[in-house]
Structure 1
Amino acid sequence: MNFELTFEQLQGKLKKVLDPSRFRFILILYPNTNMIDEIKSYISNTYPESLVTNLDLQNKSYQDISTELYKNNEGFVYINDFEELLDNPELYNGFNQRRDKIASHNINLICFISLYQKEELFTKSLNVIPDLWEFKDTVLELQKDEKTNQLIDINVTDSMSYSSIGGTNTKDKKVKLENLLKELDEVNNDELRLNILKQVAMIYDDLGESKLSLEYYLKELELKEKLNASEDQLAVSYNNIALAYKDLGYIDEALKYQFKTLHIRENSLTKNDIDLALSYSNLSIIYEGNNDLEKALNYQIKSLEIREKNLEENHPDLANSYGILAMIYQGMGKLEQAIQYQKKDLKILEKVLGNKHPSLARSYSNISAIYHDIGELEKALVYQLKALHIREEILGEVHPDVANSYNNISLLYRDKKECTKAKEFLYKGINILKQLNFNHPHLITCTDNLKQIESQIKKQKNAGYKKKGKYCKDM
């Protein structure tokens, strides 16, 4: 196989992953440097109208390169010296903290990494740019024959993790968590300690361990305050702490920290900044969780207005706003609006995330809940089973989201009067929550649901022949 033939294959792979009309973070692992020029030349010839920015990071701060980075919209931004980014705190802190602002531009951020430094630089990236690293879309790995120097293989890996910290499933995340906790005991550098604390908090969040996630986010904030971190850096911590408190049901604390974030961002950002949209959206989530639906709706509409001005039509943040609006309208009993927005959310996520992602599972679960309220139980069951399949594969069998799916499926079978299946699925959910030692509202809810199902079964057993199937069709 000669180089020209295999380079044509590479062009075919590139064509599938490149899209200058929306943000993409692409890593290209190359075996020799001449391939970088070949790839850039192909991109320029294929997208002649697109702006190209070559970022020179040598001895630069993020402020030095930000103007050049932000002026590109609907084009390609190349970073050849990726290692320089990872070695310079003035660069990697900027890229990490301004991740959402970078992602609001319609650019393909393409980083070239030597194939022989893959393991070293990937590990380093997880440590120093964990926020930006979450947004990577594709890793394209070029391999060559050492004897002939010819390109012999092209591996393409699409990112599909809920956060890329620790891997794509619960088992890998637990292994990563164990290693991070060991590093935390040994590390002397405060900047590295900050990054490790955040990674630990994020993994605990992915694992559904909200109390431990909050504990480490608070430790991260304490260290930031000790180091006199900027208000922008503090705002990120306040936001994460707010969401952790919300997950634990402490709404007053959640609002306190989220308003701290909002105060900083409203005073430092323009009114259409994408980070401000994030604060409005998170306030909406907290109010929705407290059933304060009018406030939730107002803040989510403010967020959506900014996102629609700044983001392409298939951006995941737009899907996020649509999904939250769907939940709000569902809570208001406006099911027609709810289903419209949930379909918008689902359409984007199916397009950009592939078929195995926890966010897609959440969307399936949410549209199932709306169909349940409408009374279309069969449709609702199909979507809830889809959610369960993804969650079991990605999150593992012992995770609160899996327990939630079992509970939702149980309620559908209950309303279909299939009491045996309803009880079977509910017990599965309860057993998971007990394994997790969850003293949690979900466990109380599941226990209450079990009492309702057992009451239906008892009524059916006591009913006469003429009332067969009135409470349970399967008895």
Structure 2
Amino acid sequence: MSDNYQEETQPLFKLLRNEAFRFIIVRYNHYSLVQQLQKDLQQRFPDRPVNTFNAKTVDYHQLTQAYYDLGSGFFFIENFDDLLKEDKNSLGQETPETAQNNERRRHITAGLNLRRDKLAKYPIALIVFIGFSADSLYAKKIMEKMPDLWSFRSLLLDLEMPLANDQPDWQNQQTEITNRSLERPISSLGGTDKQAELNRLLELLAATPKNETAFRQTLYPQIADLQNDLGDYQAAIDTLQTWGKIVNDDEKSQIWFKMGDIYTQLGDLDKALTLFQTYHKLQKELFTSDPTNIHFKNGLAISYSKTRRNTRRLRQSQSGLAVLPRL
């Protein structure tokens, strides 16, 4: 194994020349690489403030408040892979001893995912560190637990250095072995598998206390997507409406987007257009607040495309109806 630090970090240093929101995932095989990267970033960008947290010990409110207080610069989260775990006993069950820590993890992943647009308003490089001892499918876990934030990722790095047989990484070494297989993403499931996954998520939702709103909000979009894929459009709409009752207005853009798609499939173009126009309005406000943010720019482009397409469909439909009496 050769040291790839220089090769891997050059694109990162180039990316960070422009101060803007970035979500960067760094996987490493020795903790000294984490220390080296943090040191190099502070030397290259000495005017940017820095804050570092350990994902194993922080809670959601501490993390987000520190992020907003930072305002700009670098926000490092070490041991991020810990947030992707769920501790269970040998029978695969959550115990009272593990429930509190599992809930802490869920609040962080669900909360960061839901606050994606707010996080992106800050010119902060959010850099998370994941050890090589983590599940090799860590990217899929992030994608499943934090799909919205995952879509804003800027860069994935794999940092490696030669390790002697007698040189364990004590800082990051983990000896846990899990035989729980990672479930496939929803998009890759077949019809039967989708129904089984929907049943599992509905049971999980029913078992989740109503005051655990952050975690419930990660379930609603998955449930609605599956209901939509299985053709149960009204159930999907009901799920999205329930989701919308527990989020702020500025966090409803994904709900409007998904409902607009469903009403388009149902042929209710008037409702679809109204929803896409509302979605477009919010995306325009986000872009206006930060025109250099590429994620807001992409969101605005998508919303414009959806609104324009549905406007054209509605006009064609109305034109067709106007011709019918003459036939």
Q: Does the alignment reach a TM-score above 0.5? A: yes
Counterparts of 1:82 and 1:56, CA distance in 2: 8
Moved more, 125-134 or 139-148: 139-148
| Contact preservation (8 Å) 1:125, 1:133 | yes
Cα deviation, 1:247-293, whole Å, max 9, x if unaligned, reads 3342454478x5xxxxxxxxxxxxxxxxxxxxxx74275xxxxxxxx
Taking a change above 3 Å as real, the CA distance of residues 241 and 55 of structure 1, as seen in their structure-2 partners, is same
Q: 1:126 aligns with which of 143, 153, 159?
A: 143
Looking at secondary structure, tell me which structure has more helix per residue. 1
Q: CA deviation at 1:22?
A: 1.8
Q: 1:50 aligns with which of 41, 48, 51?
A: 48
Task: Give the corresponding residue for 2:238.
Answer: 218
Q: Give the alignment's TM-score, normalised by structure 1.
A: 0.46
Looking at both structures, which has the greater relative contact order when contacts are Cα pairs under 8 Å and sequence separation is at least 6?
2
Task: Give the corresponding residue for 2:204.
Answer: 189
| Contact preservation (8 Å) 2:240, 2:255 | no
Give SS of 2:136's match.
helix
What amino acid does structure 2 have at the position aligned with 1:198?
Answer: P
Counterparts of 1:331 and 1:125, CA distance in 2: 33
Counterparts of 1:144 and 1:214, CA distance in 2: 53
Q: 1:76 aligns with which of 74, 77, 97?
A: 74
Task: Give the corresponding residue for 2:176.
Answer: none
What amino acid does structure 1 have at the position aligned with 2:121?
Answer: S
- Percentage identity across paired residues of the two chains: 19
Q: 2:123 aligns with which of 106, 111, 124?
A: 106
Counterparts of 1:327 and 1:127, CA distance in 2: 25
Counterparts of 2:299 and 2:81, CA distance in 1: 33
Q: How do 1:144-159 and structure 2 match up within 5 A?
A: 144-145=161-162, 147=164
What amino acid does structure 2 have at the position aligned with 1:82?
Answer: F
| Contact preservation (8 Å) 1:54, 1:78 | yes
| Contact preservation (8 Å) 1:307, 1:317 | yes
Counterparts of 1:8 and 1:139, CA distance in 2: 15
Task: Give the corresponding residue for 1:391.
Answer: none
Q: What runs of 5+ residues in structure 1 fail to find an aligned partner?
A: 151-164, 259-280, 286-298, 333-368, 370-440, 449-475
Q: Give the alignment's TM-score, normalised by structure 2.
A: 0.63
Give SS of 1:108's match.
strand
Q: Does 1:91 align with 2:108?
A: yes
Q: Does 1:283 align with 2:278?
A: yes
| Contact preservation (8 Å) 1:202, 1:213 | no
| Contact preservation (8 Å) 2:2, 2:162 | no
Counterparts of 2:7 and 2:279, CA distance in 1: 46
The aligned length equals: 273
Cα deviation, 1:372-420, whole Å, max 9, x if unaligned, reads xxxxxxxxxxxxxxxxxxxxxxxxxxxxxxxxxxxxxxxxxxxxxxxxx
Counterparts of 2:29 and 2:234, CA distance in 1: 42
Q: What runs of 5+ residues in structure 2 fail to find an aligned partner?
A: 85-101, 169-182, 209-214, 321-327
Q: Does 1:199 align with 2:213?
A: no
Give SS of 1:27's match.
strand
Counterparts of 1:178 and 1:144, CA distance in 2: 44
Cα deviation, 1:2-31, whole Å, max 9, x if unaligned, reads 75xx43333324324435512211111111
Q: 1:318 aligns with which of 282, 285, 297?
A: 297
Taking a change above 3 Å as real, the CA distance of residues 327 and 9 of structure 1, as seen in their structure-2 partners, is closer
Counterparts of 2:188 and 2:66, CA distance in 1: 40
| Contact preservation (8 Å) 1:308, 1:318 | no
Counterparts of 1:178 and 1:141, CA distance in 2: 36
Give SS of 1:218's match.
helix
Taking a change above 3 Å as real, the CA distance of residues 120 and 245 of structure 1, as seen in their structure-2 partners, is closer
Task: Give the corresponding residue for 1:434.
Answer: none
Taking a change above 3 Å as real, the CA distance of residues 130 and 10 of structure 1, as seen in their structure-2 partners, is closer
Counterparts of 2:132 and 2:122, CA distance in 1: 28
Task: Give the corresponding residue for 1:11.
Answer: 9
| Contact preservation (8 Å) 1:200, 1:213 | no
